[in-house]
Amino acid sequence: MASHAAPKRILVGLGVAALACAALAGLGVSHRAAADIEGNSYVSETYGLRATLPRGWRITESSGYPRTLLWLSRSKPRVRIAVAVDPIATDCRAGATFCNRDPSSIAATLDAQLTAAGFARGALRHDSRTPTLEYRIGNAYLRHAVIVVGDHVVSVILAADSPADVAAMTRTFDRLVQSVRPTAPLQ
């Protein structure tokens, strides 16, 4: 019975995190993202982004959560990664989480809102071009990176049952995060 509880906790924790990000970003009209997965490459023409996907992971394009593009999962250790995208609002007064292009400001705003929503805060690293937050909800441990690509914020969220499992996936997570880039040079 315990073997079924761990995957459920990860799914619930990651689902809650993805939904929290979507809700905090102020959901508008969502649409199905046109994208291609070929080998270990993911390309979304809709959002103008590409990423190199890790080998050995189950990869599923998402249609269940608004603006969640991909789910990646692995059984040893049991972890999941969600890749979601949200627009950067032109008006901060509209209550949007993402209303500027500064990754550190985006991470700080997201951190404050997740803390206010009841997530247990962990480390916040915003000293790089790709800020990373760590937090916990229930028994799920999460690492969340934010990347600005054009007019969108891409969230890469890793969920695991323990801090040790999160740490074991640091290199894979960092490679995925660093691979997220625009499909064409920004003008």
Q: Where does residue 1 rank: exposed (0-12), middle (13-18), buried (19+ CB within 10 A)?
A: exposed
Say yes or no to pLDDT of 147 above 60: yes
Q: Which of 164, 183, 176, 187 is nearest to 56 (CA)?
A: 176
Domain 2-27+57-166, classified CATH 3.40.1000, yes or no? yes
Model confidence, pTM: 0.80
pLDDT band of 58, cuts 50, 70, 90: very high
The pLDDT tens digits for 23-54 are 344 333 344 445 688 888 999 888 899 999 99
- How far apart are alpha carbons 19 and 149 in whole angstroms? 21
- How far apart are alpha carbons 34 and 57 in whole angstroms? 21
The sign of the dihedral angle between the CA atoms of 55, 158, 107, 149 is: positive
Say yes or no to pLDDT of 67 above 50: yes
Say yes or no to pLDDT of 169 above 60: yes
Say yes or no to pLDDT of 65 above 90: no
